[in-house]
């Protein structure tokens, strides 16, 4: 079993309130969950209007499978026109022998 952990820091310039930010973040989270079958949560900057950090976890039977889905997560986030990606960090977790 292999897991890919993706941390994505976002800037949401059009968000003028927490409600507007929530709409953008919820839409992106739903798309990632539905299209890529991964676990997603907003894990940082919950009280800031224009910032968000998403944590994404993917589990696969192979390292290449986990990496592939992590790359797809990045692609989906970069294609979202309402957000600017500040940073992306991908970590591959392997089982202990």
Q: With 0-12 CB in 10 A as exposed, 13-18 as middle and 19+ as buried, what is 12?
A: buried
Domains, the chain, ordered by start: 2-93 (3.30.70.1120)
Rounded to an integer, what distance in angstroms lies between the CA atom of residue 14 and that of residue 55? 22
For residue 49, the model assigns a pLDDT of: 94
Q: What is the pLDDT along the chain (97 residues), one digit of tens a residue?
A: 899 999 999 999 999 999 999 999 999 999 999 999 999 999 999 999 999 999 999 999 999 999 999 999 999 999 999 999 999 999 999 877 5
pTM: 0.89
Q: What is the pLDDT, as a whole number, of residue 96?
A: 72
């Amino acid at each position: 079993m292999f897991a890919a952990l993706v941390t994505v820091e976002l800037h949401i310039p059009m968000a003028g309130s927490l409600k507007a930010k929530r709409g953008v973040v919820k839409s992106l989270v739903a798309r990632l969950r539905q299209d890529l079958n991964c676990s997603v949560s907003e894990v940082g900057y919950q009280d800031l209007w224009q910032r968000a950090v998403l944590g994404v976890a993917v589990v696969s039977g192979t390292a290449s499978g986990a990496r592939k889905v992590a790359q797809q997560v990045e692609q989906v986030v970069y294609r979202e026109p309402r957000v600017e990606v500040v940073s992306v960090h991908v970590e591959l977790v392997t089982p202990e022998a």
